[in-house]
Amino acid sequence: MANKLRLGIPKGSLQDATIALFERAGWRIYANGRSYFPTIDDAEIECMLIRAQEMSRYVEKGVLDAGLTGIDWVVESGLDVESVTSLVYSKQSRQKVRWVLAVPEDSPYQKAEDLAGKVIATELVEVSKRYFAAKNVDVKVEFSWGATEVKPPTLADAIVEVTETGSSLRANRLRIIDTVMESETRLIANRSAYADTWKKHKIDSLALMLNAAISAQGQVGLILNVEKVNLPAVLSVLPALNSPTVSELSDRNWVALNTILEEGVVREVIPRLKAAKATGIVEYPLNKVVL
């Protein structure tokens, strides 16, 4: 369709985090619990909820022009899609997730090579097969339909499972012995769609604004005034994303500084700025940061 981008939103664990990210980027997506076609406040975009595991297939076929999914499922599928940009966010955090090889806590296995001839349960079958093949370890990799953590030691000897914090694995008395791969969310596109001038511009605009929203997370802006004679002392205690913007004030002996800080350090930096004789210190929230 002309001037209409068909966009896949990952259904499942990433759905809420993705919709929240779009809202921070400037798009409101309204998902009805019973519909696979959420509405969006952009007449040029049509959304469809698709499981992340299947996103690459529908993007490659052209059913969707673009979609968000984990790079793990792109690699697992082996399909040919355009990787537009990395978007480092996940269900619980702003960090990459890991697919790890895990075994029961009380098992004798210490490394992948110890699992020769054993059964491995996972959703990430092809990647796991390649992982063991690269180590020349002969194992049987079985597809897991879910609840993978409960399968060792009765239904499998080990698992390859995704984790952010490792808490679920520990709760199920499992021990990580290796990382199979790291993963992050990617905005992917159909190659023909990405070759279309209008769709490429729309997809690239999405990428820009989504990344800007991610960059703003955990950051705040800070403005302050300082007498020029005290400027070196203020700059020495002021960490910044880039060099702070320094502007002349009507009083030529004073300047204004504008900078971006990690939110977690502000409580330490502001007292130090005050001690360096900065005044008029104002902290303000950020919605987007374009790097």
How confident is the model at residue 88, as a pLDDT? 86
Q: What are phi and psi of 40, to 5 degrees?
A: -140, 145
**What are the structural domains of the chain?**
5-92+185-216 (3.40.190.10), 97-183 (3.40.190.10), 219-285 (3.30.70.120)
The residue-averaged pLDDT of 267-290 equals 94
Q: Which residues of 254-289 are buried (b: 16+ CB within 10 A; e: fewer)?
A: bbebebbbeeeeeeebbeebeebebeebeeeebebb
110 to 125, 135, 159: CA distances (angstroms): 21, 14, 14
pLDDT band at 12 (very low <50, low <70, confident <90, very high): confident
The residue-averaged pLDDT of 33-42 equals 89
Q: Is the confidence at residue 216, as pLDDT, over 60?
A: yes
Q: Which residues of 63-89 are buried (b: 16+ CB within 10 A; e: fewer)?
A: ebbbbbbbbbbbbbbebebbebbebbb
**CA–CA separation, 120 vs 101, rounded Å?**
9
Q: Is the confidence at residue 92, as pLDDT, over 60?
A: no
Q: Is the confidence at residue 1, as pLDDT, over 60?
A: no
**What torsion, rounded to 10 degrees, do the Cα atoms 264, 267, 273, 279 define?**
120
Q: Is the confidence at residue 63, as pLDDT, over 70?
A: yes
Q: Is the confidence at residue 158, as pLDDT, over 90?
A: yes
How confident is the model at residue 2, as a pLDDT? 59
Residue 267 or 13, more confident? 267
The residue-averaged pLDDT of 66-94 equals 89
The residue-averaged pLDDT of 108-112 equals 96
Q: What is the mean pLDDT of the chain?
A: 93
**pTM here?**
0.84
Residue 239 or 119, more confident? 119
